[in-house]
């Protein structure tokens, strides 16, 4: 049934030890499960977390489906999230989203390319309003993203084995004199 190895279970136990109750460790436990299950949480993953945390499966499902950070469907190797909140929209996020939709041939409603490499999604605020528009790929942020920078990023990601091709906060603009 489950995919959790002894090492995964030890990771969960270590996480649980940081919290006052097993239930309090649910969010990080779901992160572990999402990683173990290839980037998403099928019902088996949620059931496995429920068993390990001694919680009803319905409680785990309720939390997993509430938070958008947990994927309920398989995603591409590289999940591209483009902020479409106010600052990003004012500075061209909608045009960037449309550019990516055309380039990848998918909708920014969370569709995945036929080759399974990219999933494109609109997201709410990424917290990078001062350097909008912002894009997040996995755990890496890219700021001040233009069409050209997005195209270069897509080309790099096509052959990257991991989402992280640059350190967090990648692509911060160089300081310019005012």
**Does residue 160 register a pLDDT over 90?**
no
Q: Looking at residues 92-102, what average pLDDT do you find?
A: 97
∠ CA 77-105-37 to the nearest 5 degrees?
20
**Does residue 173 register a pLDDT over 50?**
no
- CA distances, 143 to each of 4, 130, 138, 156 (Å): 36, 9, 14, 16
Provide the residue ranges of all domains of the chain, joining segments of one domain with +: 6-66, 78-158
CATH (one of 1.10.760, 3.10.450, 1.10.10, 3.10.50) for 6-66? 1.10.10
How much is the CA Rg of the chain, to the nearest whole Å?
18
Domain 78-158 homologous superfamily, CATH = Glutaredoxin (3.40.30.10)
Look at residue 118 and give its three-state secondary structure.
strand
Q: What is the pLDDT of residues 104-128, one digit of tens each?
A: 999 988 899 999 999 999 998 888 8
Q: Looking at residues 37-61, what average pLDDT do you find?
A: 94
pLDDT number for residue 41:
94
Residues contacting residue 34 through CB under 8 Å, at least 6 positions apart: 40, 41, 45, 70, 71
The Cβ of residue 104 has, within 10 Å, a number of other Cβ atoms equal to 21
């Amino acid at each position: 049934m489950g995919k959790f190895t002894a090492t995964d279970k030890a990771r969960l136990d270590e996480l649980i030890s940081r919290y006052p109750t097993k239930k309090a460790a649910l969010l990080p436990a779901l992160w572990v499960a999402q990683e173990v299950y290839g980037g998403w949480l099928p019902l088996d993953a949620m059931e496995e977390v429920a068993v390990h945390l001694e919680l009803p499966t319905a409680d785990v499902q309720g939390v997993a489906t509430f938070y958008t950070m947990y994927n309920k469907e398989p995603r591409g190797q590289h999940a591209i999230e483009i902020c479409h909140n106010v600052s990003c929209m004012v500075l061209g996020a909608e045009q960037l989203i449309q550019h990516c939709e055309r380039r990848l041939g998918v909708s920014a409603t969370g569709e995945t390319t036929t080759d399974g490499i990219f999933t494109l999604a609109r997201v709410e605020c990424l917290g990078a309003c001062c350097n909008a528009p912002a894009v997040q790929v996995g755990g890496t942020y890219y700021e001040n993203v233009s069409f050209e920078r997005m195209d270069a990023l897509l080309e790099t990601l096509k052959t990257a084995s991991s989402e992280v091709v640059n350190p967090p906060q990648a692509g911060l603009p160089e300081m310019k004199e005012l």
